[in-house]
Amino acid sequence: MRRDLETAARAARGFMPHAEGIGLYEAALALTASGPIVEVGSYCGKSTIYLGAAAIERGLVVFTVDHHRGSEEMQEGWEHHDAELVDPMTGKIDSLPELRGNLEAAGLEGVVVPIIGESSVVAQHWFTPISMLFVDGGHGPEPAHADYENWAPKVVEGGLLAIHDVFEDPADGGRPPYEIYSRALAEGEFEQHSSVGSLQVLRRC
């Protein structure tokens, strides 16, 4: 991974440990399937930079989907609330300006295309086959399962499905990411590809 992009990824606000980011980068770098990369849940762009770094080397494009109002656990009074991201005009979280600034600083504006909107709405109008899908959006049961149901069928044969924050023990983190990971394996559409920390990467059979 280019040193400047590694530095940018480390500096960006977010929750992905560097080792897991490198795991995401290496999975994207080794893609054999054709098509763009889609990220669901970009927040401020930490994971997006890892994907963008691989996309540059592979000549790919990353589409990153987020409404930028923060998931449930990022709202005021919850564990991951960050007051610095609250728009003083609206009183709502708005992570889009920081995402755009991080992409510009990393030189990834020509590689990463932000899509601002609800994941389910965007998915309804997305018809391009995907080489890699990274799911890291809302971690509640409804949004997590909806992201899987709406986006996973769009991954091509041989393509990858990466899911973040997968914890088998509920004491370590929320269950929905683990549930959709288990569901993908149980339904027989995907097989294990790689694993780094809470990042699980599956390949479409």
Alpha-carbon gap, residue 205 to 203, rounded angstroms: 6
How are beta strands 155-163 and 130-135 bridged, if at all? Answer: parallel
For the question of residue 139 being annotated catalytic, the response is: yes
Distance separating alpha carbons of residues 119 and 56, to the nearest angstrom: 25
CA 45 to chain centroid, in Å, comes to 9
List, in sequence order, the alpha helices (H) in 59-154.
96-106, 119-124, 141-151
Cβ–Cβ < 8 Å for 156, 204: yes
CB 37 within 8 A of CB 28: yes
- β-strands 37-40, 199-204: how paired? unpaired
- Among the listed residues 81, 139, 145, 164, the single catalytic one is 139
Catalytic residue numbers? 139
